[in-house]
Structure 1
Amino acid sequence: MATSPIVDLWGRPIETADLDEQQTESDSRLTSLKRHFADHPSSGLTPMKLAGIMKRAEEGDLIAQSELAEDMEEKDAHIQSELAKRKMALLNIDWNIRPPRNATADEQRDADMLQELLEDATWLEDAFFDMADATLKSFSNLELRWDRVEGMQLVTGYDHRDPAWFQTHPDNRNQLRLRDGSHQGAELNPFGWIAHTAKAKSGYLTRRGLVRVLAWPFLFKNYSVRDLAEFLEIYGLPIRLGKYPEGATEREKATLLRAVMSIGHNAGGIIPKGMDIDFNNAADGASDPFMAMVSWCEKSQSKAILGGTLTSQADGKTSTNALGNVHNEVREEIRDFDLKRIAATLTRDLVFPLYALNGKSYRTRHRIPRFEFDLTEAEDIQMLSTTLPGLVQLGMRIPLAWAHDKTQIPQAKDGEDILQPQSASLTQGAQND
């Protein structure tokens, strides 16, 4: 039987008929995944339980670690806020499709075609956000929906799949597989997924996500918040002492005890005549030790997620504007790192499939267009305008394209109106008259 001339980046042949239905819909072994519900391992979390969750994840069982990450993001407002900042920073960054080096005219046309297709993809920005979920969980898998539109194979959307649906291959701890009940799991279909992995740290796939760093401050913070709540309940209310006369019956004593226990919260109650309730001052105590622990945990979380604390909270002491700018620069470096990894994943799992299935210039998987975010910062135009003329007069041969890149000013296309000095435009107008 003849094999398809189209292969993925690992040389596996692609049949377009396989794209008609998503893998999780067509494979009967995977139908049980959609009936999976989380066990919420954060409930009753202890150091021993957390260590067990991480140990099982290293052995390939990612269910509990993935569900713990979900719980952390839902239960801890500080983690959710910091992660949202890191995700939101990835949006509204310009991007483009670059053709291969020394591109032919056909390759340039195909790159322009892919640019138009993805600019029209209303789901793409949501995909950036969902791919950033890998920052916490170390991976994020989006299952693509393909459709044939006007003779072209196009991606019309995607579904973000629960991280708990996946496991690692027992012989390759960096390879994700779908849980289908088998020991090895089911291989992800080529051209069927955007399989993004993040790198908060080096190591095997299951240990790269921030969940393993943030889980410990999350646990200690929960202990401190619980202890603080108990402290406020015990020390925040006055001590109530009930006095019953001699000879009181057990029933009368029980009545007085119920009144003592409830009167502080209900602000009212009744007791038999001849009995008294005295209110003494609340016991002395301080909440500072508990809040100090909560503050340490939140600062640790901010450092792990954003690389610093001054972009999320100020202490009124060391939070100077200069330090804030330094911390913001670190955050921008983290943003650029995330974007470069997302661009590499999109080149492999989105741009290449679209190019291989629709590109007229496609010949080999070794020459493909690339998805790139524009991470260059515009230089100070005023500074360049004062320094460049002097450098040119000294004989420096400065490429025009370099100046446009530095200033982030696009080059005019052939026949397009351009800005000109007023004197030059007046002279040209007079010559035309």
Structure 2
Amino acid sequence: MSIIDQHGHPISTRTLAEPQTARLVHLQRWTVASHMAGLTPARIAQCLAAADQGNILGQHELFDDMFERDAHLRCEYEKRRGALLGLEWSVEPPTSPSAKEKKAAAAIEDILRNAVDDFEDLILAMMDGVGHGFAPIELEWQRIEGMWIPRFHPRPQGWFKMDMNRRELRLNDGSADGAVPLSMGWVMHQHVKAKTGYLGRIGLGRVLVWPFLYKMYSLGDMAEYLSTYGLPMIVGKYMPGAGDEEKASLMRAVTALGRDARAIMPDGMSMEVQKVIASGDGTPHLSMMSWADGAQSKALLGQVLSAEAKATGMGSGVADLHQLVRRDILKADARQVAGTLTRDLVYPLAVLNGLPVQGMLRCPRFRFETGEAADLKLLAEALPALAKGGARIPLSWVHEKSGIPEADDGEEVFQVEAPPAPAAPVPPAPSEPQPAAAASYRPLARAALAALSLPARTAPADVVDHQLAALSASAQPEVDAWLAAIERMLADNPTATAVDVQERLLGMFGDLPIEQLADVMAMGFAAAELAGMADVHDGR
């Protein structure tokens, strides 16, 4: 079956049946040669110059020696390599995705989380590109339950060479120009853009090699100093006129005492163990090593406080600044690794497993979550005020800033139980004074009674008109006050639901006596009946 690779070229799935290096026996037998014996500035400069000319083998072997032998360098390097493992990640669909694109992104993420067991090891292997400049991880594709699933095999940088133009990596298959790495057969991570276009110069190891060299010199000088002056001096004293044989006997005694802590010597001779007082105590060597450690920490992490727990005398501001620098480096690493994973892993997974992907432009994107969650307390206090002020805040942005994932359809959602509605107040006894709210019904009652008590000789139409006018004039101020209170309540709570409005109305007017309301309603029905009578009278 022919498919289109991430570079837009057709490729047959038959070429993915076995890893590209499976039949290169000379690479399987390749071993790393150490450069530590007789390491000098001239030899280091020679390795770096050869890499500039396209021969990168010696440079990468030197880098391997450095990371293996320098404890501080290895510690700082592992901090940077492992930082990405602490980030959450996801596979996101492209912008304005269709339903099929969303489904494809979810399927790829499911494969990486559940079917690929060594995915974290892949990220660690890719971060080797920080020191070496590139990290080659070969893919071995397997068919498992009808799906193409990759296995990852990190390969040494020594298996590769530069092409004749020194701009592209080639697999060292024994040919003059090397073999092009098989498309969709490698996760080939180049950590940064090539400096001046030459891939041999992009590794951070080129910066780290010089502090490493100075540290090794200082360490050797320190060891020699301790070997010479670290032990107490033993002085033997012989008698005046002692012959050569007696002197030789005393020398053997001094030597034996320094080695075995026991010796014999002729009578009359003596030995003294003296403390050497010299101007040198190793401090210059330690200072040089401390400088080299700091230089390596700065090159890898951008700061030194995480390696040296010591007081700065400047409060927590310096520590916060150094943490920000580390955060910036972490974000840059995450962005570059995510781009490589999208190109060399996510796209092949989608194409090989028949997921709907329309080329690299609409391919799902691997994404590390590098944003910091906002303070939930501050967010909860600020958002309601902003919403009341008219701010249109997307719900997805709130979830992103708070770090709280959005629930899927049908997923159980955390809820806070609404407070119970206040109990209806007990109507006061007739003998007790009426509450203030009930007073608003009294004008209505008086108006209705006055209208009904007009003389009987008054025409029904006049009775109705007089009654309605009286009711309207008396009730209008109270009705206006109610409407104003309800409008203020709705303006203060623009996002309130119908249930919330009902509860607030009960809280505002729940204390109105039912008896007074019933009287007013009865009067209203009486007014309607009188209106009907007036209509019948006029019709006659």
Same fold (TM over 0.5): yes
Displacement of 1:401: 1.0
- Separation in structure 1 between the aligned mates of residue 16 and residue 155 of structure 2, nearest angstrom: 17
- Separation in structure 1 between the aligned mates of residue 38 and residue 54 of structure 2, nearest angstrom: 23
2:336 partner amino acid: R
Matches within 5 A, 1:215-234: 215-234=209-228
TM-score, normalisation: structure 1 = 0.90
**Cα distance change, pair 23–392 in 1 and its aligned pair in 2 (3 A):** same
1:401 and 2:401 are equivalent in the alignment: no
- Separation in structure 2 between the aligned mates of residue 425 and residue 360 of structure 1, nearest angstrom: 51
**Cα distance change, pair 423–294 in 1 and its aligned pair in 2 (3 A):** same
- Separation in structure 2 between the aligned mates of residue 152 and residue 388 of structure 1, nearest angstrom: 46
Map of 2:511 onto structure 1? none
Structure 2: gaps of 5 or more residues: 423-498, 503-540
- Separation in structure 2 between the aligned mates of residue 319 and residue 137 of structure 1, nearest angstrom: 36
Tell me how large the CA RMSD over aligned residues is: 2.4
Map of 2:447 onto structure 1? none
1:268 partner amino acid: R
1:221 and 1:297 in contact (8 A); partners too: yes
1:100 and 1:369 in contact (8 A); partners too: yes
- Separation in structure 1 between the aligned mates of residue 14 and residue 331 of structure 2, nearest angstrom: 37
Matches within 5 A, 1:179-258: 179-199=172-192, 202-203=195-196, 204-242=198-236, 246-249=242-245, 256-258=250-252
- Separation in structure 2 between the aligned mates of residue 303 and residue 263 of structure 1, nearest angstrom: 48
Displacement of 1:323: 1.1
Displacement of 1:256: 5.0
2:6 and 2:348 in contact (8 A); partners too: no
Displacement of 1:273: 5.8
1:148 and 2:143 are equivalent in the alignment: yes
Map of 1:19 onto structure 2? 16
- Separation in structure 1 between the aligned mates of residue 163 and residue 420 of structure 2, nearest angstrom: 68
- Separation in structure 2 between the aligned mates of residue 325 and residue 152 of structure 1, nearest angstrom: 47
- Separation in structure 2 between the aligned mates of residue 146 and residue 66 of structure 1, nearest angstrom: 28
- Separation in structure 1 between the aligned mates of residue 7 and residue 210 of structure 2, nearest angstrom: 38
1:54 and 2:51 are equivalent in the alignment: no
- Separation in structure 2 between the aligned mates of residue 75 and residue 141 of structure 1, nearest angstrom: 23
Among 348, 351, 367, the alignment partner of 1:356 is 351
- Separation in structure 1 between the aligned mates of residue 187 and residue 263 of structure 2, nearest angstrom: 64
TM-score, normalisation: structure 2 = 0.73
**Cα distance change, pair 261–21 in 1 and its aligned pair in 2 (3 A):** farther
Q: Higher helix share goes to which structure?
A: 2
Once the two structures are overlaid, the 10-residue window that deviates more, 256-265 or 71-80, is 256-265
Map of 2:415 onto structure 1? 420
Percent identical pairs in the alignment equals 40
Deviations 1:231-268 (A, max 9, x none): 1222222223445663334xx76665455445324323
**Cα distance change, pair 105–218 in 1 and its aligned pair in 2 (3 A):** same
- Separation in structure 2 between the aligned mates of residue 380 and residue 305 of structure 1, nearest angstrom: 30
1:190 partner amino acid: S
Map of 2:171 onto structure 1? 178
**Cα distance change, pair 54–324 in 1 and its aligned pair in 2 (3 A):** same
Give SS of 1:126's match: helix
Matched pairs, number = 419
Once the two structures are overlaid, the 10-residue window that deviates more, 268-277 or 97-106, is 268-277
1:82 and 1:305 in contact (8 A); partners too: yes
Flag the structure with larger Rg: 2
Once the two structures are overlaid, the 10-residue window that deviates more, 108-117 or 7-16, is 7-16
- Separation in structure 2 between the aligned mates of residue 279 and residue 205 of structure 1, nearest angstrom: 60
1:112 and 2:109 are equivalent in the alignment: no
**Cα distance change, pair 57–134 in 1 and its aligned pair in 2 (3 A):** same
- Separation in structure 2 between the aligned mates of residue 82 and residue 189 of structure 1, nearest angstrom: 33
Map of 1:6 onto structure 2? 3
- Separation in structure 2 between the aligned mates of residue 201 and residue 288 of structure 1, nearest angstrom: 40
2:148 and 2:352 in contact (8 A); partners too: yes
Runs (4+) off by over 6 Å: 424-428
1:266 and 2:260 are equivalent in the alignment: yes
1:305 partner amino acid: L
Map of 1:294 onto structure 2? 289
Displacement of 1:182: 2.1
- Separation in structure 1 between the aligned mates of residue 234 and residue 281 of structure 2, nearest angstrom: 20
- Separation in structure 2 between the aligned mates of residue 372 and residue 295 of structure 1, nearest angstrom: 38
Map of 2:515 onto structure 1? none
1:297 partner amino acid: A
Higher relative contact order, structure no. (Cα contacts within 8 Å, ≥ 6 residues apart): 1
**Cα distance change, pair 265–85 in 1 and its aligned pair in 2 (3 A):** farther
Displacement of 1:420: 3.2
Displacement of 1:58: 1.3
1:76 and 2:73 are equivalent in the alignment: no
- Separation in structure 2 between the aligned mates of residue 200 and residue 72 of structure 1, nearest angstrom: 23
**Cα distance change, pair 191–253 in 1 and its aligned pair in 2 (3 A):** farther
1:141 and 1:163 in contact (8 A); partners too: yes
- Separation in structure 2 between the aligned mates of residue 312 and residue 201 of structure 1, nearest angstrom: 29
Give SS of 1:293's match: helix
**Cα distance change, pair 294–262 in 1 and its aligned pair in 2 (3 A):** farther
**Cα distance change, pair 5–426 in 1 and its aligned pair in 2 (3 A):** farther
1:141 and 1:196 in contact (8 A); partners too: yes
